[in-house]
Chain A
Amino acid sequence: GAGVSQSPRYKVAKRGQDVALRCDPISGHVSLFWYQQALGQGPEFLTYFQNEAQLDKSGLPSDRFFAERPEGSVSTLKIQRTQQEDSAVYLCASSRMSGYLQEQFFGPGTRLTVL
Chain B
Amino acid sequence: AQSVTQLDSQVPVFEEAPVELRCNYSSSVSVYLFWYVQYPNQGLQLLLKYLSGSTLVESINGFEAEFNKSQTSFHLRKPSVHISDTAEYFCAVSLNNAGNMLTFGGGTRLMVKP
Taking beta carbons and an 8 Å cutoff, which residues of A are in contact with B? Answer: 3-4, 31, 33, 35, 40-45, 48, 50, 55-56, 59, 91, 93, 95, 98-104, 106-109
Contact = CB atoms under 8 A, between A and B. Distances in A.
Interface residues of B, number: 29
Q: Is the interface of A mostly helix, strand, loop or mixed?
A: loop
Q: Is the interface of B mostly helix, strand, loop or mixed?
A: loop
B61 interface: no
Interface of B: 4, 6, 9, 32, 36, 41-46, 49, 51, 90, 92, 94-107
In the A-B complex, the 3 residue pairs with the closest CB atoms? A42-B104, A106-B44, A106-B43
Contacts of A109: 43
Contacts of A4: 43
Contacts of A100: 32, 51, 94-97, 100
